[in-house]
Structure 1
Amino acid sequence: MRKLLIPLFSIALLSGCGGSSPAERNGAEDASEAIANAIGETASSVGNGIEDAGNAIAGPVKPGRYDDWIGKWVGVEGTYLDIKKPTDEDSEADYELTMQYDLDHKGTFDGTATDHGIAFSRPDGNHVLKKATGDQTGLKYLAGKRNCVMVKQGEGYCRD
């Protein structure tokens, strides 16, 4: 905006110079000043509007208890879990769990942070996703892994 202000102000000033009478020059200077003031006020209100819009969009960010779990987790035989923050601002969920939880079933489920993990419901019942090791999942492929989560014995996902 400042780059635009300088050329406009210069043009307005130059238009008042030359062989003009003093009255014409004063009128041109007044017009130049009015243009510069209008441009400055517009730039200021646009800038404030952009700042306000940015604050309204971002809003206060409340970190979740399990935000360090956000991301992709890999299970066995093509199963996976992807944890995200909900994109729908009207959602009451703390997390969105997208998973292929066995060979035939997948879906996206709303999760709620609890003291024990992320609680969610899917067609096979209510569950709580909790921190685990690969050994705790009971899955041979995940044995020895340390950075894992599990839904129940025989269903787990790891990052390492």
Structure 2
Amino acid sequence: MRYLVPALLVPITLTLSACGGGTQTPGSTNAADAMPNEVIDLPVEGNDAIGNESAVANEWTGRWIGVEGTYATIVPDEEVGPGHYRINMKYGLDDTMAGNYSAVAEGDTLTFTRPDGDQVLKRGDGAATGMKYLAEKKDCIVVKTGEGYCRD
């Protein structure tokens, strides 16, 4: 019986590590170096550097949650300057559908390019995402019908 207990702990340990136990490359502080399916906590500070022309985009700074493990984290790109952002996102079920992208505030949108082409983020509600799970949400961003992320 004492050999049975360690054998039972192995699946539990593996299950727990699969639920968010991913790690970043040792010594790395760059979000681009992290595992593509890992939710990365990017700092959400420095918002004061953004001018009035991008006030709507400034409201988007932070973490947005989609469905089935998708997410988008938006932070100001202080290296480039006001009106420029970094987006870390997982936008599909496949781990290759994740990455870090540079975005530019244009009016009340953020534009960026990822492997599937040029994209535009705009404000909306859950209904605008076109996804049943998000339909009742109020504070969302939408890339296109079937792809959106919400805060509430």
Between structure 1 and structure 2, the one with the greater Rg is 1
State the partner residue of 1:151: 143
The CA deviation at 1:62 is 3.5
Question: In structure 2, the residue corresponding to 1:135 is in which secondary structure?
Answer: helix
Counterpart amino acid of 2:134? L
Contact kept in structure 2, 1:99 and 1:108, CA below 8 Å: yes
Q: 85, 91, 94: which is aligned to 1:101?
A: 91
User: CA separation in 1, counterparts of 2:113 and 2:143?
Assistant: 11
| 1:1-160 matches, cutoff 5 A | 61-63=49-51, 64-65=54-55, 66-87=57-78, 89-90=79-80, 94-104=84-94, 105-160=97-152
Superposition RMSD in Å: 2.0
Aligned sequence identity (%):
44
Matched length: 101
User: CA separation in 1, counterparts of 2:141 and 2:123?
Assistant: 4
State the partner residue of 2:39: none
The CA deviation at 1:93 is 6.6
Structure 2: runs of 5 or more not aligned: 1-45
Counterpart amino acid of 1:154? G
Higher relative contact order (CA 8 A, sep 6+): 2
Which deviations, in whole Å up to 9, do the C-alpha atoms of 1:127-159 show, x marking residues without a partner? 100001101111000011110001000000000
Question: In structure 1, the residue corresponding to 2:138 is in which secondary structure?
Answer: coil
Structure 1: runs of 5 or more not aligned: 1-57
Which deviations, in whole Å up to 9, do the C-alpha atoms of 1:14-53 show, x marking residues without a partner? xxxxxxxxxxxxxxxxxxxxxxxxxxxxxxxxxxxxxxxx
Return structure 1 stretches of 4+ with deviation > 2 angstroms.
60-65, 90-93
Counterpart amino acid of 2:73? D
Report the TM-score, using the length of structure 1 for normalisation.
Answer: 0.58
State the partner residue of 1:51: none
User: CA separation in 1, counterparts of 2:107 and 2:49?
Assistant: 21
User: CA separation in 2, counterparts of 1:156 and 1:147?
Assistant: 11
Report the TM-score, using the length of structure 2 for normalisation.
Answer: 0.61
Select the structure that is richer in strand: 2
